[in-house]
Structure 1
Amino acid sequence: ASLHRRIAQLKESNCQTAIEDIMYMLILYKFSEIRVPLVPKLTSCIYNGKLEIWPSKDWELESIYSCDVLELIKEHSNAVISLRVNSALTDNLETTEIGKHQLSKVYTASILYGYFLKSASLRHQLECSLAEHHGSITKQLRHYISGFDPKILQRCAKPRSREAKNLIEKQSLALFGPKENEENVVTSISSLKRLLLEAVAFGTFLWDTEEYVDGAFKLMENENAEEEENSSV
């Protein structure tokens, strides 16, 4: 009986891995549609002791959002890198030092933020359509989100499936390496912004992919997943 149970577990594990591979390929395809390659492992982007990611691809990464969503993403980016809104181009050329583990946490939190915004914006669009149908006044996205209670916030920000949660962990590991790596990296504000925008886009595409794949395969519910650190909005 234990052997049959183990075989069933292996089949389930192999199936889940295959589904995750499909989801990842779909995410890569979405990035290719906007002509943005994912940043490779960070160690391959360090030149003369400095992390440099070129080209920035800011325009392409920002082009996939509506104006109200993009406004929130820019605020998130500015808050993370401690830049004032509408900062000058020269600020992007300045350098900063950050721990690789901390950068990994920020990247993961930004993926979850992109995932959250996609979910919240779709809910907002639906409620706006209903409000217009009944002649009611619609709220801006930021005001709509500010009215979320904790349960709705958690539901929108946490990956719905175990496969999506695993993909976030795998993407972060592939980019930054093991979590115990505590070394610091020197990078430009421009490169840091590139990482953040990629992460938010990854979260957005992950939501789309999860929704699409769940229609063909029954994804495993992410019931017991712990909330990611710094994932609050």
Structure 2
Amino acid sequence: MFCSCLNSVAIINSGTSIIVLSTFIESEIVILQLIQDVEGTANSSMNMRIAQLKENQCQIAVEDVMYLLIFYKFSEIRVPLVPKLSSCLYNGRLEILPSKDWELESIHSLEVLDMIREHVTTVTGLKAKSSVTECWATTKVRQFLLARVYVASILYGYFLKSVSLRYHLERNLSLADHDIHLGHRTSLMCSYGFKDAIFGHLSNMPSLGQGLIRPEEELEDLKCYVMSFHPGSLQRCARLRSKEAVNLVGSYSCALFNNKDSGSFENDDVILTSFSSLKRLVLEAVAFGSFLWETEDYIDNVYKLKED
């Protein structure tokens, strides 16, 4: 799946303008949309079989385009994706340079960034304001655990993107409801007179949208907002929406952590690495998840993705 993508990336890295990649992606999306429209007209069993084969090919192509879009987003912030980890190992030690921490953090809002820093501390043990000495201290980690942390961080970045958008939407609706409610009360006060308003004539009238949208003061903190989620809502926000996204995460993580001997990333080898490199991997994975959400949303508006 990723052969064509990696070839495209190699061409771009060799000097091709990023505009070429953008144009290529747009043309691929248009082609996929046309193919999907044609598939909808299949009637006979033969046509249905052909359509099924084309659909499978399209799904692979869609995943490639999604990957290229994510790569494009990383290129916009001038962050190269970490290559296959085996190429970063020297005598059993993993080092990923440069760190690019600032660039990877710059795509997030401050409230989201606070939660990401807590995540980094949780999975790596590195504090938010660690000294240079602490960042470059080394630790041992099993490679398959590192792969699982990377995938979990992708899902966390995807979740944060989803929940932060929901948070701001609900906050804006709350503010709009507040403004409508004030305007409604003002017009009623003019209709009934200030005397009736003062003596409670309006106090028994339900506010517009009451009970549907939480008050603004309850939405001040994103972390508290997330903590208040019902388990079902939490699961919906954290779950990848499309099969293409699920396949992309699986294929990409395998390509990154693949053990050439076993063919999987369930590699039990112990590697030595710095906390700085661990942080780089986690921040990249979180950014990957955030970009994946945006890419999935963009593609789904043009080419209908399959629900997972």
User: Does the TM-score normalized on the shorter chain lie above 0.5?
Assistant: yes
Q: Which of 255, 265, 290 pairs up with 1:174? A: 255
The whole-number CA distance in structure 1 between the counterparts of 2:83 and 2:306 is 28
Q: Which of 67, 79, 89 pairs up with 2:132? A: 89
SS in 2 for 1:86: coil
Aligned to 1:117: 160
Q: Which of 59, 67, 90 pairs up with 1:24? A: 67
204-213 vs 81-90, which deviates more?
81-90
The reply on whether 1:155 has 2:236 as its aligned counterpart is: yes
Q: Which of 8, 12, 18 pairs up with 2:55? A: 12
Aligned to 1:127: 170
SS in 1 for 2:272: strand
Per-residue CA distance 1:74-123 (angstroms, 9 max, x = gap): 00001111123422221110111111111100000000000000000000
**Could you tell me how far 1:170 is from its partner in structure 2?**
1.1
Aligned to 2:222: 141
Larger % of helix: which?
Answer: 2
In structure 1, give the amino acid aligned to 2:86: T
Matched pairs, number: 222
SS in 2 for 1:134: helix
The reply on whether 1:198 has 2:279 as its aligned counterpart is: no
**Could you tell me how far 1:210 is from its partner in structure 2?**
0.2
**Could you tell me how far 1:60 is from its partner in structure 2?**
0.3
The whole-number CA distance in structure 1 between the counterparts of 2:54 and 2:165 is 35
Normalization by structure 1: what TM-score? Answer: 0.91
The whole-number CA distance in structure 2 between the counterparts of 1:55 and 1:78 is 20
The whole-number CA distance in structure 1 between the counterparts of 2:116 and 2:159 is 11
**Could you tell me how far 1:179 is from its partner in structure 2?**
2.8
Q: Which of 283, 288, 298 pairs up with 1:212? A: 298
* CA contact 2:88–2:94 (8 Å) conserved in 1: yes
The reply on whether 1:76 has 2:119 as its aligned counterpart is: yes
* CA contact 2:136–2:276 (8 Å) conserved in 1: yes
Normalization by structure 2: what TM-score? Answer: 0.69
SS in 1 for 2:246: helix
In structure 2, give the amino acid aligned to 1:10: L
The whole-number CA distance in structure 1 between the counterparts of 2:266 and 2:277 is 23
**Could you tell me how far 1:65 is from its partner in structure 2?**
0.6
Two-structure CA RMSD over aligned residues (Å): 1.5
The whole-number CA distance in structure 2 between the counterparts of 1:97 and 1:3 is 56
**Could you tell me how far 1:4 is from its partner in structure 2?**
6.1
Aligned to 1:62: 105
In structure 2, give the amino acid aligned to 1:209: T
* Structure 2 unpaired stretches of 5+: 1-43, 179-215, 259-263
- CA gap of 1:60–1:3, structure 2 versus 1, over 3 A, is same
* Structure 1 unpaired stretches of 5+: 223-233
In structure 2, give the amino acid aligned to 1:211: D
